[in-house]
Amino acid sequence: MEKRAFGATGLIGSPIGWGTMEIGNLETSEAASLLDTALDGGVTWVDTAPCYPDSEALLGRILPGRRHRLLLTTKCGCTGPYSTHPHRFDRPTLLRNLDESLRRLGTDSLDLWQLHMQSSDAFPGGEAGEITQTMQEMRTAGKVRHIGLSFKNGGPEDPLYPAEHGFRSMRRFGTLDPFESVQLVYGALTRTNEEAIEAVARTGKAVIVRGWLKKYSPAYDGLLARAGLAALCEPGEDISAFLIRFGLTVPGISFGLIGTTDREHLRANIEAASRGALSAEVFAQARLRLDTAGIRPAAW
């Protein structure tokens, strides 16, 4: 699998990462098998959060002997073990989050620490306030190597769901220093942020995307059929593999997260990513078909 620069950080990693939001109910042996499958397939990124139930603790049990092979990222601002718990953005909460994350994960430092933002309208505490200062201090102290922002997507009842919060956040905070990365929703069927990703990445920020295979709407199957992307697949390639490769081809994406608890699903995604980006001709044709089907980026 190819390796990619992570923005201007100097980190080099895989173009896909393992998202661990749903692993908390797995047996330790099952989680270890998934992690080994990811690492043996060339995946380097592992993403978690304190508000992913039991995810950090489970990872902490399986990381010994493997930590040196991966790039580990978690988040802060969480007050409970579920993403639906209220978030709090102040210095004591962030410091507690970090200390507890390091303890649960059994590591001395994180490769990336992300603010788990809950608003696309305002930066908690002000852009130069205690949140920014605290995260900078932890980077200087060596507890985290890099700091970033993870933008919300909301829930199905939210009129800005799933990608508009990310677009608004990119407008307001995408190039905000001293943060080195952003994370947001993007996929071939959720192209709202495509132009935003390209623009923000040009400033040197790393861009992580999530949900690039997720069907956020019942209308997606119809839209996908209308776009006719299956006609562009290589022999033996299914549409999911094609959508992964489409995401890998979008300029500016550092890596995309694959959230799964199924080893065969993970293997299939690794195999798709290992095929690499689409050719320029196929990518242009896919974009045109998606545009024609009404699946277009928001104008940046």
pLDDT tens readout for residues 58-77? 999 999 999 999 999 999 99
**What mean pLDDT is reported for the chain?**
96
Q: What is the pLDDT confidence band of residue 100, given thresholds at 50, 70 and 90?
A: very high
- What pLDDT sits at residue 83? 63
Predicted confidence (pLDDT) at residue 82 exceeds the cutoff of 70: no
Predicted confidence (pLDDT) at residue 218 exceeds the cutoff of 80: yes
- What pLDDT sits at residue 86? 79
CA-nearest of 151, 147, 123, 126 to 136 is 147
What average pLDDT does this structure show over 184-210? Answer: 98
Three-state DSSP class for residue 202: coil
What is the share, in percent, of the chain residues with pLDDT greater than 90? Answer: 94
State if pTM tops 0.85.
yes
Rounded to whole angstroms, the Cα distance separating 157 from 9 reads 36
- What pLDDT sits at residue 80? 74
Sign of the alpha-carbon dihedral angle for 244, 247, 248, 254: negative
- What pLDDT sits at residue 76? 96
Determine phi and psi for 295, rounding to 5 degrees: -100, 95
Rounded to whole angstroms, the Cα distance separating 170 from 208 reads 12
- What pLDDT sits at residue 227? 97
For 116, the enclosing helix (H) or strand (E) is: strand 112-116
Q: What is the pLDDT confidence band of residue 128, given thresholds at 50, 70 and 90?
A: confident
Rounded to whole angstroms, the Cα distance separating 104 from 266 reads 24
Q: Checking DSSP bridges between strand 4-5 and strand 12-13, what pairing results, if any?
A: antiparallel
Tokens 């990462």 -> residue: 17
Q: What is the pLDDT confidence band of residue 127, given thresholds at 50, 70 and 90?
A: confident
Would you name the residues annotated as active-site residues? 52
CATH architecture of 4-217+252-278: Alpha-Beta Barrel (3.20)
Please say whether the beta carbons of 147 and 112 come within 8 A.
Answer: yes
Predicted confidence (pLDDT) at residue 236 exceeds the cutoff of 90: yes
How far from the centroid of its chain's Cα atoms is residue 134's Cα?
23
Predicted confidence (pLDDT) at residue 208 exceeds the cutoff of 70: yes
What average pLDDT does this structure show over 138-153? Answer: 98
Q: What is the pLDDT confidence band of residue 279, given thresholds at 50, 70 and 90?
A: very high
- How does DSSP classify residue 13? E
Task: Enumerate the domain spans of the chain.
Answer: 4-217+252-278
Instruction: Report pLDDT digits (tens) over 149-191.
Output: 999 999 999 999 999 999 999 999 999 999 999 999 999 999 9
Omega before 178 within 30 of 0, i.e. cis: yes
- What pLDDT sits at residue 249? 99
- What pLDDT sits at residue 186? 99
Determine phi and psi for 122, rounding to 5 degrees: -145, 145
Q: What is the pLDDT confidence band of residue 145, given thresholds at 50, 70 and 90?
A: very high
- What pLDDT sits at residue 84? 62
Predicted confidence (pLDDT) at residue 130 exceeds the cutoff of 90: yes
Side chain identity at residue 64, one-letter code: P
Predicted confidence (pLDDT) at residue 85 exceeds the cutoff of 70: no
